[in-house]
Amino acid sequence: MEIISICLSDIPKERITTASNGKKYINLVVDKKRETDRYGNTHTVYISQSKEEREAKKDKIYVGNGKEYIFNNQQQSASVQENESQPSEDDLPF
């Protein structure tokens, strides 16, 4: 799990979309950094780019960063989680 912080002031208003239900949305990308920065941040957050923006190599709009959070001082790799068997209906607590 990652805990991220987003600077709302850095989000350009034209990148916010309004859905048919009237709610406002923005597509963000949370990406792992190559190296942890001096503040301990392990992830960066930026506004998702369109295919055209990526092809034109436009600069990303960075809006935040975050740190990896290890719950209960334990971390399982994705491969271990993927190999765990799914509970049957009899194993469910309800």
Reported as a single tens digit per residue, the pLDDT across 42-87 is 999 999 999 999 999 999 999 999 998 887 765 544 433 333 444 4
Sort strands 24-25 and 43-47 into parallel, antiparallel or unpaired: unpaired
**Predicted local confidence at residue 64, as pLDDT:** 94
Confidence band of 94 (pLDDT split at 50, 70, 90): very low
Report residue 62: phi and psi, to 5°. -80, 135
Q: What is the pLDDT of residue 72?
A: 74
Q: E strand or H helix at 45, and its extent?
A: strand 43-47
Share of the chain above pLDDT 70, in %: 77
Q: Is the pTM of this model over 0.85?
A: no
Which pLDDT score is estimated for 54? 95
Closest of 58, 79, 72 to residue 12, by C-alpha: 58
